[in-house]
Structure 1
Amino acid sequence: MNPVAPVRDVLDRQLGRVTMYRLVTIVLTLLVVVYAVFTATGVIEGLSTGDNLLSLAVLLVASYASSRLLGLAFRVRPHAESAIITALLLFFLFVPIVPVGTADLVWLAIAAVLAQASKYVLAWRGRHVFNPAAAGAFLVLLAQELVGREDRINAIWQTAATEKLFPFVVVGALLVLWRTRRLDIGLVFVVVATVLIMVRLLDLAAPDQSFVDVLKLAAYSYPIVFVAGFMLSEPLTLPPRRRQQLAVAAVTAVVFAYPTWIFLVTDSPPDLGVLAISPELALLIGNLVAFAFARRSGLDLELEGSRQVAGDTHELTFRSRRSVSFVPGQYLELSLPHSGMDSRGARRTFSISSPPEAGRVAVTLRVPQQKSSSFKKALLSLEPGARVRGTGIGGDFVWPADPQTPLLLVAGGIGITPFLSQLRHEGSRDAVLVYGAASADEVPFAEELAGVRVVLVCPGHPTDLPEGWTHVEAPYLSDQIIAEAVPDLGGRRAYVSGPPAMVNAVRSGLRKRAKSLKTDYFSGY
C-alpha cells in the first residue's frame, strides 16, 4: 500500500469540508493571529501590535465597504469573503508601516478601494484580469506618484517573508495549493525564482557564508512562498490549461527575480522609476500573460431546458448566440449572482456533458437536498429562457488525439460527466467505462450509454442491464476490481474522474498497471 495515500485521503477529506475561499480566509487569519502574538510577545521585535491591527481594521472596513458600494454601482452581488481575503492579503503586503499616521491609513484604505475597483473596472467578460491585491498595491503607488506625495506607503512584503513567520507561511501555502490542485504551479514558481535569486546572492556571498545561509537569506528576504501559495494560485487570473498555467508561473518567477538577476547581466540596469519591478508588478505582468493565453470569450447563455437523469442528478442545456468552442472533457465556469448567496460565491465550474455542437452546451450536476450550495439550488430553479453568464472554459482532462488509442475510463458518481461528453462525441473509440455507483438505480444516462462497453460496480444485483454492460458486485471501486474486469488494462490509457477519495483509492494501482494515467478531481465533491 502506498504510505502517502492515507495522508492524502485525510487532507482531501478535511480540506474538502470548506470552500476554497473559506480555507484561504482561515489560513490568512491564522497567520495574522500568529504575527500579532509574535509582535506582542517580542518574538518579532520593534513593531507595534496595536498599529498593525489598526492597519488591518482599516483595510477590512475599506475593502468590505467599497466592495458593497461597487456592487451596487455595477448592479452585481459582491462576494464578501473575497473582499476580506483581499484585505488580508494587503495586510501582508503593506504592514508594518513605521510609524503609521493618519495619512498613511487613508492611503492604505485607498489601496483597498483600488483593489476592489480593479475587479470591476479592469475586467473582461465577467472576470477580473489582475490579482486584486497586487493591482491595489501597484495602483496606490501610481496614485501617490501622481499627487506628488513624498512619504509614500508601498508594498514592502516584509511580513510575508518574515523569518519567524516563515514556517507558518509554508504550511498555509501548502494547504492552499493542495486544496486547489496547484502544487506543481507553486513549485515551478518557487524553484525558478529561488534559483535566479540564489545565483546572484551566491555571487555576493561572503567567504564564510554557506549555501544554506544564502538559501535562508533568499527565503527570509523575498516573499517567494507567499506569492506562490496565496497570490499566483488565484483561479480567476490563471489561464485554462495546465501547461499555460505552468508557463505563467515560470514567466512570473523570472520577472519577480529581475531586480536580482539583472545585475548578472549589467552593472547599470535601467531606472524604471515608479515602474520598477516589484513582486506586485511581477504578478500583474504574469496576469497579462495569463490573459493572453486565455483569450477569454464570455458566453451569454440562455437555459433551453433541464431534465432529471437519475435521483438528484440533473442535466441543464443552454443555448448561446455565439459559437461555443471546447474540447470534450473540459469544464464550463458559470456566473449566477443570486439572493441568499452562501460563502461558495456566484461562480462555479461544471464539467461539460454535451458534445461540441454549434450554439449549445450542457452541464450535469448533483443537487442533494441537504448539502447543496446556494448556487446549485439557484441554477436548478431557473426557468427556460433564463440567462446565465459563462465566464470561462478550460481543463486538460481530454483524450489523446490518436483515435486508435485504447482507453480505460473510470468514473465515480457525477465523475461520469466528462466521459459523457467524450463518448457522445466519439462513441466509436476503443473505450471501456468502469463506473462505481452506490446502487444500480443511481446510474445517470444508462439508456444513452447502452451499447458502450460498461462495467458497473455497485452493491446488490441490477434487475436489468443495458446492452454491452456487465456487473461486478462490490461496495466500492478498487484497482484490483478494475484489473480483473479489464484484462487488457496494460495496453490502455487510463482516465479517472470522481470524488478525491475514489480517485486516491485507485490511482497508485492504475499507475502501475495502465499504460498511462490522468485524473480529474472535483474539489467541490
Structure 2
Amino acid sequence: MNAVKSRIDTWLGRFTMYRLILWVLGVLVVYSMVLNVLGWLTFGLPQMLVHLVLCLGVTYASNRLLAMVFRITPHSESSLITGLLIYFLFWPAFGVTDMAGVALACVLASASKYALAFRGRHIFNPAAAGAFLTGLTGLNIATWWAATPAMLWLLVPGVLVVLYRTRKMLMATVFMVVATSIICAELLSRGMTFGQALWQPLAQRPLLFFVGFMLSEPLTLPPRRWQQLALAAVVGVVFAVPYNLGFVANSPELALLLGNLIAFVLGQRGGVELIFKGSRALTPGSTEFRFEPTRPVRYAAGQFMELNLPHSGSDGKGRRRVFSITSPPGAAEVTFGVGTAEPLSTAKKALLALQPGDNISATTVGGDFLLPHDAGKPVLLIAAGIGITPFLAHLAADEAARDTVVLYLAKGRDELACAEQLEASGARVIARLADGSTPPDFMLDAGTSRIDAPRLRELVPDLAEREVYVSGSPASVDSLRAAARGAGARRVHVDSFAGY
C-alpha cells in the first residue's frame, strides 16, 4: 500500500493544484456533454457549447483586460478555472437575459480579483463573487446544475483526486458531515425516509462540487489546519441552514463568500512583495534563495510560502510554486531552500534567472509542520534530501533548549545542506549517507543500511518518548513514517515534497 500511495503521490505531484483542477473540470465538461447526447441531461448540445464558449471567452478576455489596466501579469489558468466553474453554476440557455447574466458573472468574477482584493491578494472566490453579485441584479441566478445524479459518476472521483492532491480531505469531511447532517434533519422533519434524506444532499445539492472545487481554494483559506476545519464547520452550517433576509437568502455562493471573509481575517492579509537579494548553492542539487519582504511577513517555523513566478512558456508545474521557508520568523530576509537538480520546471528556471533587485510576489503562507508548543517536549526530525529545508527554520529559531535529534538521509557528504547551521543548533545529528562517505565529525555516522523500524530503534532508543517529524519526497516520507511507527513512535507528523 505504501508503494502504491507513493506512486500516486509522485504522479499527482507532477501537476500543480491549478493545472489538476483545470484538467478535472475539463473532463467534467466533456462528460456533461456526453450525458446530454445520451439524454441524461436536457439542455441541448448547442446551448451547452455556446455557454462554454461564453464562460471561457468572457472570463479570459476580461481577466487579461483588467490585468493590463492594473499592470499585473494575468494568471491564465486561474481565469480558465473560473470560467469552467461558472459554466457549471449557471443554466445553459439561449435567452438574451440569461446569457447577459452569465457574461456579467464572468466579468464580475474577473473584476473581483482586482477590486475585491487587498495588497494584491483577492479576498473572495471569484466564481462565487461573480455569481452572487449577478444574482443581486436579477439578470440570472446560479443554479449549480452540476448537482445532478448523472454527474456523480465522474464528479465523485474528480473531487476525491483534487482533495487528495491538495490535502483537504479532512476539511472536506468536516464540511460534508455538518452540511449533510443539517439538511438530512430538515428533510426528515418533512417526512422523508432516511435514505431519501441522505441521497438528496449528496446527489441533488451541490455539496460535492462546492467542497471539491471552491471551498478548498488555497488562496481563500486560513493558513492553519485547525482554522480550516473550524471554517469548514461554519460554512457547512451557513450552507445548510435555510434563511431569508429579504434581499438575500441562503445560497452556496453566499456561504462561501462569508467563509472567505473569515479566512481573510485569520490569515496573511494580502500578498507580499519580495525583493530578490541573491542565492547560494546548498548542495550540488539544491539552492538557497534570499528575499527581502517589503513589509513584515507573519509565519511560524516550519511553514511554507507560495511564490508567484510569472514566465512565458509555463509547463505543467505552473507559475505558482510552494517552498518551505528556511529562515526563522522575524528575520530581516526570507529564505527558501529549493531542489534545483535537473530536470528543472520552467518555474524553477525563472527562479534561477532572477537578478538582485527583481521583485516577485508571495501569495500564501500556511502549513502545520510546527514543533510542539511545549519546548520541553523532545523531538526527532527525519529529513530525506531536500526535506531538511523546513527543519532549518526550526533549528534557527529559539529551539536551542529543546532536546532535538536530527536524522539526515542523503546520497553523500556533498548532499548535506547547511552543515554549519546544523552544528550550531546544538541538536544531535545522525547522518545516513547512501554512498558510504563519512559525514562531518559532529554527526553520528549511521552507515549505509536501510532505515527500517529496528534500525531506527537502534539509532534513537528513546524514540517512543519523542514526537517525530518526517520530511522529504512522497516515497521517502511513506517509508520513513512506517519505520517510525514500527519503532514505537506515538505521533508522526509529515511534510512531503510532491513534485519538487
For residues 498 and 292 of structure 1, do their structure 2 counterparts lie closer, same or farther at Cα, with a shift above 3 Å needed? same
| Structure 2 equivalent of residue 87 of structure 1 | 83
Distance 1:357 1:289, change over 3 A: closer
Counterpart of 2:380 in 1: which secondary structure? strand
| Equivalent residue, structure 1, for 2:393 | 421
Query: 1:285 Cα deviation (Å)?
Result: 0.7
SS at match of 1:365: strand
Q: Does the 8 Å CA contact 1:185/1:249 hold for their aligned counterparts?
A: yes
Partner of 1:365: 338
Corresponding residue of 2:108: 114
Q: Once the two structures are aligned, what percentage of the paired residues are identical? A: 46
- Between the aligned partners of 1:167 and 1:27, the Cα distance in structure 2 is 13
Trace 1:31-430 onto structure 2 (pairs within 5 A).
31-44=28-41, 46-97=42-93, 100-142=94-136, 144-145=137-138, 152-158=139-145, 160-206=146-192, 209=193, 211-259=194-242, 270-273=244-247, 275-296=248-269, 298-370=271-343, 372-425=344-397, 426-430=399-403
CA distance in 1, matches of 2:176, 2:337: 37
Which residue matches 2:418?
445
Kindly tell me the number of residue pairs found equivalent between the two proteins: 496
Partner AA of 2:440 in structure 1: L
Q: TM-score, normalised by structure 2?
A: 0.94
Amino acid at match of 2:99: L
Whole-angstrom CA distance in 2 between matches of 1:478 and 1:154: 58
**Aligned letter for 1:129?**
I
Structure-2 residue corresponding to 1:266: none
CA 1:322 to 1:30, structure 2 compared with 1: closer, same or farther past 3 Å?
Answer: closer
Of the structure 1 ranges 8-17 and 111-120, higher mean CA displacement relative to structure 2 is found in 8-17
The one-character-per-residue Cα deviations of 1:321-347 (angstroms, maximum 9, x if unpaired) are 533442211122323333444454443
Over residues 200-233 of structure 1, what are the superposed CA-to-partner deviations in whole Å (9 max), with x where a residue is unaligned? 0011124xx3x12221122222111111111111
The Cα of 1:95 is off from its aligned counterpart by 2.8
Deviation, 1:478, is 3.7
Separation (CA, whole Å) in 2 of partners of 1:287 and 1:464: 49
Runs (5+) with no aligned partner, structure 1: 146-151, 260-268
Contact 1:323 / 1:358 at 8 angstroms: preserved in 2? no
Give runs of ≥4 in structure 1 deviating > 3 Å.
297-300, 320-325, 338-346, 476-481
Q: Which moved more, 1:323-332 or 1:405-414?
A: 323-332
**Offset, 1:297:** 5.0
Alpha-carbon distance, 1:362 to partner: 1.2
State the Cα distance separating 1:270 from its structure 2 match: 4.3
**Residue pair 1:439, 1:459 contacting (<8 A) in 2 also:** yes
Measure, in 2, the Cα distance between the counterparts of 1:436 and 1:422.
Answer: 18
Within 1, Cα distance between the matches of 2:116 and 2:17? 23
Distance 1:318 1:220, change over 3 A: same
The one-letter amino acid paired with 1:174 is L
Residue pair 1:324, 1:358 contacting (<8 A) in 2 also: no
Counterpart AA for 2:15 = V
Q: CA deviation at 1:440?
A: 2.8
Out of 194-203 and 291-300, give the one that drifted further: 291-300
Q: Give, in angstroms, the shift of residue 235 of structure 1.
A: 0.7
SS of the residue corresponding to residue 419 of structure 2 reads coil
Aligned equivalents of 1:13, 1:524: Cα separation in 2 = 7
Partner SS state of residue 341, structure 2? coil
Name the CA distance, whole Å, in 1 between partners of 2:451 and 2:44. 56
Which deviates the most, 402-411 or 172-181? 402-411
Rounded to whole Å, the distance in 1 between the matches of 2:451 and 2:126 is 42
Query: What amino acid does structure 1 have at the position aligned with 2:293?
Result: S
The answer to whether the 8 Å contact 2:219/2:363 transfers is: no
Residues 284-311 of structure 1, C-alpha deviations (whole Å, 9 max, x = no match): 1110111111141543332232111111
**Distance in 1 of aligned mates of 2:190 and 2:346:** 56
CA RMSD of aligned residues (A): 2.0
For residues 295 and 449 of structure 1, the distance between their equivalents in structure 2, rounded to whole angstroms, comes to 30
- What are the within-5 Å matches in structure 2 for residues 480-519 of structure 1? 480-511=454-485, 513-519=488-494
Deviations 1:253-293 (A, max 9, x none): 1110022xxxxxxxxx54423x2121111111110111111
CA distance in 2, matches of 1:165, 1:216: 14
- 1:54/1:320 CA distance change after superposition, 3 Å: closer
1:27 aligns to 2:31 (yes or no): no
Uncovered stretches (5+) of structure 2, i.e. residues with no partner: none
Q: Secondary structure at the match of 1:401?
A: coil
Query: Within 1, Cα distance between the matches of 2:84 and 2:480?
Result: 39
Question: 1:79: Cα distance to partner?
Answer: 1.6
> How big is the shift at 1:445?
1.2
Structure-2 change in CA distance of 1:449 and 1:270 (3 Å):
closer
